[in-house]
Structure 1
Amino acid sequence: MEKAYDEGIFHLLDGILYHRTNHTCVMTLTDRAFINTKLHECHDSVASGHLSEDRKLERVKTCSWWPNWRKDVAEYFQTCDSCQKANRATGKKFGMMIQIQEPKSPWEIVYMDCVTALPP
């Protein structure tokens, strides 16, 4: 950490430690409670809307930094109950595409897709 501070990656300003990259300078979080709050704000709050993987990484990256933040972000979002229900894989294979015969009269052939077991 001292080497990174000497190289200008970290800056101390008014008692707050900031992490600097080429384009941004964001607050460094060290307390696990603050990290969990930031993860909640960036994913679970009404304004965040359960973003996609790339968007949630961008949102966290623009406002804060902590060691191993990418790993923590991935773990937090993979355990989100709402996202798991909405993005769940059914494990069923997709059907083969087949050419549909042109019917000779209306309603001679009817095709229907059925969707079941949707999350509440």
Structure 2
Amino acid sequence: MEEAHSSRYSIHPGSTKMYRDLREVYWWNSIKKGIDEFVAKCPNCQQVKVKHQRLGGMTQNIELPKWKWEMINMDFITEFPRS
């Protein structure tokens, strides 16, 4: 279960997705309950649950230009690491 839940390819899928994936390949008594308990003990999953996240605030209206090309924005990304 550790590999199915925490490997770099699965990225903490949650109990429902993990159950769907594992039931195609494995089976044991009370598989769903075992997966639920395993995921409930995962500290990463508990931190990112929706009930532990703060709301981002109210959405803001953006000002739209009246004519195309009236406003142009550019983002510059610098200081890339050498590859």
Shift of the alpha carbon at 1:55?
1.3
Shift of the alpha carbon at 1:83?
0.5
Q: Mapping of 1:29-48 within 5 angstroms?
A: 39-48=1-10
Match of 1:85 in 2: 47
Unaligned runs of 5+ in 1: 1-38, 98-120
Take 1:66 and 1:51, find their aligned partners in 2: how far apart are those partners? 20
Take 2:5 and 2:53, find their aligned partners in 1: how far apart are those partners? 26
What code does the residue aligned with 1:87 have? K
Shift of the alpha carbon at 1:42?
1.1
Q: What RMSD over aligned residues (CA atoms) do the two structures have, in Å?
A: 2.3
Pair 1:62-2:18 in alignment:
no
Shift of the alpha carbon at 1:81?
0.7
Unaligned runs of 5+ in 2: 59-83
User: Which has the larger strand fraction?
Assistant: 1
Contact 2:5 2:11 in 1 (8 A): yes
What secondary structure, in the 3-state scheme, does the structure 2 residue paired with 1:64 have? coil
Match of 2:75 in 1: none
Match of 1:52 in 2: 14
TM-score computed with the length of structure 1 as normaliser? 0.40
Which protein, 1 or 2, shows the higher relative CO under an 8 Å CA cutoff with sep ≥ 6?
Answer: 2
What secondary structure, in the 3-state scheme, does the structure 1 residue paired with 2:45 have? helix
Structure of greater Rg: 1
| Identity among equivalent pairs (%) | 23
